[in-house]
Amino acid sequence: MSKKNQTFRNLPDINITNSLLETFGLENLNDNRLFTREHMIEINTVEQINELIDKLSEYYLPCKCKNYLENINEKKSITILRQFVKIHNYKVSTFEKSIKGQKQMIYQLAPINDDYLSSTKNDPVENRKYIISFDM
């Protein structure tokens, strides 16, 4: 018996997910380039997603179409992307960075199981993995 999904009536296949990724300037789920809302504006992500609305609406439950596919902006675009990649065991990681004195949200795709900062309480310290990054 398959598990019901609260967002989708048909689970998104890799083809529609790749089409959506292209609107963000990404090639596929393994493309781990960083992107920002400013980048999305430059490459017209919202306009490109609006061109995909008919295809995207085939996947959403009818009651969800109104919430996610009307009046799309950059924030809703990120939400749509999160929902579609989650089906394929990926997530959109978010972190804040100061670029030229302005705080910006930076986004990046990552496999769901690639969460280096999570650990269980029972993990010995020497088995935990951490990444420390120093930007210059």
Question: What distance in Å separates the CA atoms of residue 73 and residue 82, rounded to the nearest whole number?
Answer: 14
* 117-130 CB burial, b ≥16 within 10 A, e <16: eeeeeeeeeeeeee
Q: How confident is residue 131, by pLDDT bands cut at 50, 70 and 90?
A: low
Q: Tell me the domain boundaries of the chain.
A: 14-127
Its pTM stands at 0.79
Banded pLDDT at 97 (limits 50, 70, 90): confident
- Give the single-character DSSP code of 71: S
Q: What is the pLDDT of residue 124?
A: 54
Does residue 122 have a pLDDT over 60?
no
**pLDDT recorded at residue 132:** 63
